[in-house]
Structure 1
Amino acid sequence: MLSAYPACFFKEENGYSVIFPGLNHLATCGETLDEALAMAIDCLAGYLYLLRKDGEIAPDPLPMNEVNLSDIAKELEIESTESFINMVTVDVAEYARTHFERSVKKTLTIPAWLNAAAIERHINFSQVLQEALMQKMQIK
Structure 2
Amino acid sequence: MKKNLPDRYFYPAVFIYEDGQEIAVDFPDLGVATSGTSEDDALLSARELLGCVMCGLEEDGEPIPAPSALSAIQPKENERVVLVDAYMPSVRLASVNRSVNRTVTLPAWLNAAALERNVNFSQVLQDALKHQLHLA
**TMscore range, shorter length:** 0.5 to 0.7
Aligned-pair CA distance for 1:96: 2.6
After TM superposition, list the pairs within 5 Å mapping 1:125-140 onto structure 2.
Answer: none
Give the 3-state SS of the residue equivalent to 2:17 in structure 1. strand
* Structure 1 position 97 matched with structure 2 position 93: yes
Query: Please, what TM-score do these two structures have when normalized by structure 2?
Result: 0.65
| Contact in 1 for aligned 2:17/2:23 (Cα 8 Å) | yes
How large is the Cα RMSD of the aligned pairs? 2.8
Query: Please, what TM-score do these two structures have when normalized by structure 1?
Result: 0.63
Q: How many residues are matched?
A: 104
In structure 1, the partner of 2:130 is none
Counterpart residue identity of residue 110, structure 1? T
Instruction: Quickly say closer, same or farther: Cα 1:60–1:97, change in 2 above 3 A.
Output: same
Equivalent residue for 1:22, pick from 21, 26, 29: 29
**Hey, what's the Cα distance between the residues in 2 that align with 1:103 and 1:18?**
27
| Contact in 2 for aligned 1:15/1:33 (Cα 8 Å) | no
| Contact in 1 for aligned 2:55/2:91 (Cα 8 Å) | no
Instruction: Quickly say closer, same or farther: Cα 1:103–1:43, change in 2 above 3 A.
Output: closer
Instruction: Quickly say closer, same or farther: Cα 1:108–1:55, change in 2 above 3 A.
Output: closer
**Hey, what's the Cα distance between the residues in 1 that align with 2:89 and 2:35?**
23
- Segments of 4+ moved more than 6 angstroms: 105-109
Give structure 1 stretches of 5+ with no counterpart. Answer: 71-80, 116-124, 127-140
**Hey, what's the Cα distance between the residues in 2 that align with 1:107 and 1:46?**
25
In structure 2, the partner of 1:32 is 38
